[in-house]
Amino acid sequence: MKILVVDDSRVMRTIVNRTLRQAGFDAHPVTEAEDGVQALAAIEADPPGLVLSDWNMPEMTGIELLRTLRSRGNEVPFGFVTSEGSPEMRGQAEQAGALFLIAKPFTAETFTEALTGVLV
């Protein structure tokens, strides 16, 4: 099952990749996108099994990406990995159709807890 990591920060995409491996999800190929616009095109061209997206990005934010996907009937499993983990943000994420929100900074254990059951 392919994982699409969406973040405008290359270092964060690197860290997410690394954490996925540390959490035991290294069997899943990972692709990357730099913002919501790139991610949307990638998802529609070659659907991943899971999207892990930052929230605050140029061109199209993560929440805009998720809402666009759902408005187009695309139910791809989606989770946020973001520095903004307030109850308000978690509520917005859930309402838009996200399965989880992982707040930065995170650990491999956080990833294991959030992704087990989502990734098969």
Interaction with other proteins in 9-68: which residues (CB under 8 A)?
Answer: 9-12, 14-15, 18, 56, 58
| Closer residue to other proteins (CB): 16 or 50 | 16
Q: Using CB under 8 A, which of 23, 62, 82, 119 touches other proteins?
A: 82
Q: Looking at 26-34, 36-44, 70-78, 100-108, which segment touches other proteins (CB under 8 A)?
A: 100-108
What is the CB neighbour count within 10 angstroms for residue 73? Answer: 6
Q: Which single residue is written with the structure tokens 């998720």? A: 66
Which residues make up the interface to other proteins (CB under 8 A)? 9-12, 14-15, 18, 56, 58, 82-86, 88-89, 103-107
